[in-house]
Amino acid sequence: MRPFNFTKVTTVKDGITKKEDTGQYIAGGTNLLDLMKKHIAQPEMLVDITTISSSIKPLKTGVQIGAMVRNSTLTLDNEILTKYPLIAKAILAGASPQIRNMASTGGNLLQRTRCVYFYDVDMPCNKREPGSGCSALHGNNRMSAIVGWSEDCVAVHPSDLCIALVALDASVKVVEKNQKERIIPFKDFHRLPGNTPHQDNNLPANAIITAIEVPVNPFNKHYAYLKLRDRDSYAFALVSVAAALHLENNRIVDARLASGGVAHKPWRWSDAENFLKGKEANTANFQEAARIAAEQTKPLEGNAFKVPMLKGAIEVALQNCLTA
């Protein structure tokens, strides 16, 4: 790691004031320290914000999760478990108990890709070094995107939590450099790579994420999170699916379908959701929804398997919603 100056703050205001442009905020540190050790991130100062906003507040309109709430806390909180259980389910599919004890909710949104080329500073990567090229596009892209990618970047977002949050129409509360608060809809928080893949998201420079808000929803009975990976635990997704159904007498009133491991951002399968609305919850309709989702994909040379895997995962996840 590059030598750096270290400051701890207890308020958002202080954090924003003290952080210089060459610095970075640190919360759980589970990704940032990893990147610093590899000299991919080289901040000149770290501002420790671990003690800002770490509570889970029920609101009339939903729930507000403080940015510093630890991932594992979310899996134990009664409010989350009863009203937003998909969130807990997604978190438990990711990382390890130790990392979940450390990682913050806000930090989870800011995880950088796990694309192997991003992590090797000797190989070109537009995300790490804009303009250097994308090594994965025609290289080893087994883990890469199958939707929403560009010639400049085929990396995928690694989070599980974010897949649940995008499915539940969450929003991100941030405080900007000018100390003004702003709400960013979750689906607009992360970006597609386009020709600026070095920008993972639309968080303004020097802004702090203070909370995630999840609106009240009817998806606490029929939900599932299915994650497919190369081993049974402690691995990033090949494909993951967050599925949730609002059912009335086996008729689908509303549906949510989102995926990880497929795109540069947490991906919603809106067409498949729309298809399911008003339909009966049965295998045939689940298969059709999966087909509709898969139709939107455009796999790369090395990850064509992700398409049948995605179809299978959507079918199984929807099926699991009925038994959950």
Partner 1 sequence: MEFFDNELSTLMPAEGRVEAIAKVTGKGKYAAEYTVPGVCYAVLVTSSIPAGTIKAIQVDKAKRATGVIDILYHQNKPVVPGFADETKIRESRVGLPVFYTDKIYFKGQPIALVVAESLEEATYAASLITADYTAEVFNVDFVKTHPSIPLKAAGKERGTVDEWSNAIHIVEAEYTIKEEVHNPMEMHATIAEWVGDNKVKLYEKTQGVNSVQRVISGLFSIPRENVEVISEFVGGGFGSGLRVWSNTLMAVMASLQVKRPVKLMLTRPQMFSLVGYRPESWQKIKLGADSSGKFSGMIHQAKHTTSVFENFNENITRIARLVYDFKNLKTESAIVPLNLGTPTWMRGPGDCTGDFAIESAIDELSYKLNEDPIALRLKNIALKNDPESGKPWSTHFIDECLEQGATKINWKNRKQTPGQVTEGDWQIGYGMAIGMWTSGRTQASASIVLDKSGTIIVRTAMTDIGTGTGTAMQNLAHESLGMPKNKIKVELGNSNLPPAPSQGGSTGLASLGGAVMDAATLLKQKLATYAAAINAQYKDAAAADILLSENGISYKQANAQFISYADLWKKVDEPTIEAEATSAPGEERQQFAFCSSAAHFCIVRVHSKTGKVKVDRMVCVADGGKIINEKPAANQVSGAAVGGIGMALMEEQQADVKFGSLLGNDLAGYHFAVNADAPIIEVSFIDKPDPNINQMGSKGLGEVGIIGCAAAIANAIYNATGKRLRNLPITPDKVLLG
Partner 2 sequence: MNEQTLSRRFFLKVSGAFVALAAVPSTVHAFYQDVKSFLVPPKETLPTTLTINKQPYKVTADTRSTLLDLLREELQLTGTKKGCDHGQCGACTVHVDGQRVLSCLTLTAMLPGKTVTTIEGLADGEKLHPMQQAFIECDGFQCGYCTPGQIMSAVACVNEGHTKSVAEIKEFMSGNLCRCGAYNGIVEAIQKVAK
Contacts to partner 1 by CB under 8 A? 1-3, 37, 39, 114, 116-117, 119-120, 122-123, 135, 138-140, 142, 226, 228, 230-236, 238, 304-306, 308-309, 311-313, 315-316
Nearer residue to partner 2 within complex by CB, 91 or 290:
91
CA distances from 152 to 54, 198, 234, 303 (A): 37, 10, 29, 17
Identity of the residue, 3 or 131, whose beta carbon is nearer to partner 1 in the bound complex: 3
Restricting to residues 45-84, which ones interact with partner 2 according to CB under 8 A?
46, 48, 50, 72
State CA 17 to chain mean position distance.
28
CB 266 within 8 A of CB 157: yes
Comparison of 98 and 274: residue with beta carbon closer to partner 2: 98
CB 182 to partner 1: min, Å: 34
The C-alpha atoms of residue 164 and residue 226 are separated, in whole angstroms, by 11
- Comparing CB distances to partner 1, the nearer of 113 and 220 is 113
Minimum gap (Å) between residue 140 Cβ and partner 1:
5
Closest distance of CB 179 from partner 2, Å: 25
**Is residue 101 close enough to count as binding partner 2 by CB under 8 A?**
yes
Residue 85: count of CB within 10 angstroms of its CB: 19
| C-alpha–C-alpha distance, residues 142 and 165, integer Å | 26
**DSSP structure class, residue 228:** E
Closest CA to 33 of 9, 10, 52, 6: 6
Contact between 97 and partner 2 (CB under 8 A)? yes
Name the minimum Å distance from CB 29 to partner 1. 16
Q: What is the rounded CA–CA span in Å between residue 1 and residue 34?
A: 10
With beta carbons less than 8 A apart as the criterion, state whether 290 and 189 touch.
no
Can residue 114 be called a binding residue for partner 2 (CB under 8 A)? no
Count each helix (H run) and each strand (E run) in the chain, helices first: 13, 12
To the nearest whole angstrom, how small is the minimum distance from the Cβ of residue 58 to partner 1?
A: 34
Residue carrying the six token digits 């919850």: 281
Partner from partner 1, partner 2, none contacting 98, C-beta within 5 to 8 A by type: partner 2
Closer of 124 and 194 to partner 1 (Cβ): 124
Q: To 5 degrees, how large is the angle CA 287–CA 293–CA 299?
A: 120
Cβ-based nearer residue to partner 1, 214 or 309: 309
Residue 228 binds to partner 2 (criterion: CB under 8 A): no
Give the list of residues 6+ apart from residue 161 with CB closer than 8 angstroms, or none.
71, 74, 87, 90, 91, 94, 105, 108
Q: Which is nearer to partner 2, 50 or 141 (CB)?
A: 50
Instruction: Tell me the per-residue interface mask from 255 to 294 with partner 2, x by CB under 8 A, - otherwise.
Output: ----------------------------------------
Q: Does 96 bind partner 2 (CB under 8 A)?
A: yes
Q: Residue 268 and residue 151: Cα distance in Å, rounded? A: 21
Chain contacts with partner 2 (rule: CB under 8 A): 1-6, 8, 26, 28-30, 33-34, 37, 44, 46, 48, 50, 72, 95-99, 101-102, 232-234
